[in-house]
Amino acid sequence: MTNGIPKFRSHPTIFMRHGQTDWNAKGLLMGSTDIPLNEIGREEACKGAEELNKAGVRAIYSSSLKRCAETAIIVSKTLDTPVHFNSALNERCWGIYEGRPKRERPALVNPPGGETEAEFLARIGKAFSEIPDEENLLIVTHSGVIRLIFGAIAAKKMFIPHAKPIWPQSP
């Protein structure tokens, strides 16, 4: 473990970012603001589910925010797989920057009214400790969570597409 985040799980885990929202389309920072998918996001979730159809997903763990919950439910219906919601998988709270253009949020800052980086790390570590280390799990969450898990939070160079499965290279 590094900073409370499991570096490796004994079984590969598939990750998927939620589908697009109107705020994504406008370049606004969502964080913990509960925004639903837009029509494009629902279509993306359907396509992502089709891509997962032969992956043998046995269970889905999802952030409880609407954009992830909707994505997970669409995938769940396609795969006939149960969904487990966990608010500890929610995106980082960006406080006063939520609803504003992403470019207005200073890099590497603990936002006023939001979560510190340490709080975010601890919460995501807790979420992963609650998810069984089993084969063929899908985690539907947010780009910030996926970047954190993949170790790219500072660089922010990792592009996380909407509703596209991300398979690990190795366990």
Q: Which domain holds residue 119?
A: 13-149
pLDDT of res. 21: 98
18 is catalytic: yes
- Structure tokens belonging to residue 168: 């690990």
CB 49 within 8 A of CB 70: no
Each residue's pLDDT tens digit in the chain (171 positions)? 344 444 456 777 899 999 999 999 999 999 999 999 999 999 999 999 999 998 999 999 999 999 999 999 999 999 999 999 999 999 999 999 999 999 999 887 799 999 999 999 999 989 988 999 888 899 999 999 998 888 754 445 567 888 888 876 543
pLDDT of res. 165: 86
CATH code for position 72: 3.40.50.1240
Residue 161 lies in a domain: no
- The residues with which 141 forms a beta bridge, in sequence order, are 17
The total domain count for the chain is 1
Nearest to 123 by CA among 167, 161, 90, 83: 90
pLDDT of res. 67: 98
Residue 108 lies in a domain: yes
Alpha helical stretches, state H, the chain? 22-26, 39-52, 66-79, 117-130, 143-149
73-103 burial code (b ≥16 CB/10 A, e <16): bbbbebbebebebbebbbbbbbbebbeeeee
| CA–CA gap between residue 170 and residue 16 (Å, rounded) | 17
pLDDT of res. 3: 44
Catalytic residue among 44, 91, 98, 115: 91
CB 169 within 8 A of CB 21: no
Residue 7 lies in a domain: no
- Sequence-distant (6+) residues with CB within 8 A of 169 are none
Catalytic residue among 18, 44, 70, 98: 18
- Tell me which amino acid residue 169 is: Q
- Tell me which amino acid residue 154 is: A
The DSSP output letter for 87 is G
91 is catalytic: yes
